[in-house]
Chain A
Amino acid sequence: MVRFGKFLKGFYVALMGIFLYAPILTLIVLSFNASKSRAKWSGFTFKWYAALFENEAILQSLWNTIIIALVSSLVATLIGTMASIAMNRMKKLPRQVMMGITNIPMLNADIVTGISLMLLFIMTDFAPGFTSVLLAHITFNIPYVILSVLPKLKQTDRNVFEAAQDLGATPISAFMKVVLPDIFPGILSGFLLAFTMSLDDFVITHFTKGAGVDTISTKVYTELRKGIKPEMYALSTLMFAAVLILLVLINRRRATHEQTVNH
């Protein structure tokens, strides 16, 4: 009876795993499919990987995606961390107002955020293009940074900051030497979260981009109707593999680090 329950649990977890990973496997398989068609398998090939590096349009969209993600999350990390420090020192009411507004892009539907920014660019006659997408990404990235940094700041003992000043440090050097190292994990995870969200975004980019500027997401969306180029499967397989390897490496390093700490 107990064993049957255990089997059932394992079976269920496996089923959900298949559900989540089946499409990923499909895309990986398709990237090696000799035929252009999604529908049938006609032999193994590397040709789409070769073609990928000659497809200017896809490479351009990859470049855009990475630059936008990198720049927007860096700017968001800077503005968001500064704002968090200020918010941590605020009285309850202004802090709650700021927090309420910060929550809007997180909880609101992407489509609403997207069109609201689109309207802003229309209203101000700001020509949509690369910059408008960047501004939009910074906007929805800042909240992720704040939500990662602010809890860390709350945990940081105020006395530590004061003790540093008591020992002769100026407020700025006290912050740099004492508080910053303490909240750094929060800043880093905020940055990574922002980077991920930016990389993964489609809807907001779709509404704020100008003609001719594409990220991978919007490129896929335009290709949906015309038929997806298999190079796209190759690209997404490569990206997935890169992320997987990176995360496994980070995890392993963390595991060995924890072991050395424990012993």
Chain B
Amino acid sequence: MNKKQRRALSQLMLSGPYTVWMAGFIVIPLFLIVYYGMTTKAGAFTWENITAITSSVNLKALWLSVELSFICTVICLVLSYPLAMILANSKMKNSSLTAFLFILPMWMNALLRTLAWLTLLENNGVINTVLKAIGLPAIHIINTPTAIVFGMVYNYIPFMILPIYNVLVKLDRNVINAARDLGANAVQTFLRVILPLSVPGIISGITMVFVPSLTTFAISDILGGSKILLLGNIIEQKFKTANNWHAGSGLSLVLMVFIIITMVVSSHYEKDGESASVW
């Protein structure tokens, strides 16, 4: 065996397992969704599983999913940007510690943490008890879409904070100084320099918040009291309760269209397609 052949062989041995794995567990399964989504139980071709989205229940769920995840993304962005800015400008430049503080909660089971909000937000929950004690009106949001948005924001806001923080903390101080030097005041510097330069972080944060909140079913289960159905809930029921994989796959295809749109938009802004955005 000559050197070239040896090299080709080692390359094959190294990449082989993953290539097979990728094909078998990533690519083929995705095509299976397409296959199931476009066939009947008998195996015949059909559009019906996909057009089922136009039924009033499904359409309502889709619309609610889009609406709530949109609101959630906006709230996350509005809350995260100032926080990321404060953290990035703070003397404590220890970025690993900062990231650590926002990742740490993720080590406690997410479902349980979401459930804890139920205890806090309930009509007779902790927050209302406190509000009552200081003479403020109680809030009644449990089992409403508001509570679901609340849970989404809570679960996914770290994914907005971290990418924005990472961009801001790497910003060259002198670029900001240069803007000031050229006559821009604080507001102009923010709008014309800092904000545009942090767009990659914002976009990556938006994707990482929008996609999971669009597709969640657990949060709506817990905080929506099983009365409010998101598209995720409907798909989950089709698969796990109704065992109707064809109908579930059809609706998943609709969901995937939204996910793909989000990814295409975000990849447009990402300069280096080979880097992980959060970590």
Contact = CB atoms under 8 A, between A and B. Distances in A.
Nearest to A88: B14
Contacts of B30: 104, 112, 116
Contacts of B273: 96, 99-100
A216 B109 contact: yes
A19 interface: yes
B118 interface: yes
B112 A232 contact: yes
Interface string A90-101: 100000101111
B104 interface: yes
Given A24-B116, A85-B14, A147-B276, A119 B255 contact: no
A236 B112 contact: yes
A119 B125 contact: no
Contacts of A35: none
A83 interface: yes
A207 B252 CA distance: 14
Contacts of A26: 116, 119-120, 126
Given A23-B117, A112-B255, A147 B279 contact: yes
A47 interface: no
B239 A115 contact: yes
A90 B274 CA distance: 14
Interface in B230-245: 232, 235-236, 239-240, 245
A46 B232 CA distance: 38
A119 B107 contact: no
Interface in B170-223: 207, 211-212, 214-218, 221-222
Nearest to B11: A86
B101 to A, nearest CB: 8
Nearest to B125: A39
A106 B207 CA distance: 11
A193 B252 CA distance: 28
Interface residues of B, number: 81
A99 B118 CA distance: 40
Secondary structure of the B contact surface, majority rule? helix
Interface stretch (B45-53, B55-63, B81-89): B81-89
Contacts of A147: 275-276, 279
Nearest to B161: A16
Interface stretch (A156-164, A177-185, A243-251): A243-251
A109 B218 contact: no
Given A232-B112, A243-B107, A82 B218 contact: no
A16 B15 contact: no
A107 B263 contact: yes
A24 B113 contact: yes
B248 interface: yes
A20 B161 CA distance: 12
Would you list the 10 A-B pairs with minimal beta carbon distance, nearest first?
Answer: A23-B116, A116-B29, A86-B15, A83-B18, A109-B215, A86-B14, A26-B116, A147-B276, A119-B32, A139-B25
Given A99-B273, A147-B276, A217-B109, 11 more contacts: A27-B116, A80-B18, A82-B17, A104-B30, A106-B276, A115-B33, A116-B29, A200-B109, A220-B111, A224-B222, A236-B112
5 contacts: A13-B86, A27-B108, A83-B17, A101-B26, A120-B28
Interface of B: 10-11, 13-15, 17-19, 21-22, 24-30, 32-33, 36, 79, 82-83, 86-87, 97, 100-102, 104-120, 122, 124-126, 154, 157-158, 207, 211-212, 214-218, 221-222, 232, 235-236, 239-240, 245, 248-249, 252, 255-256, 259, 263, 273-276, 279
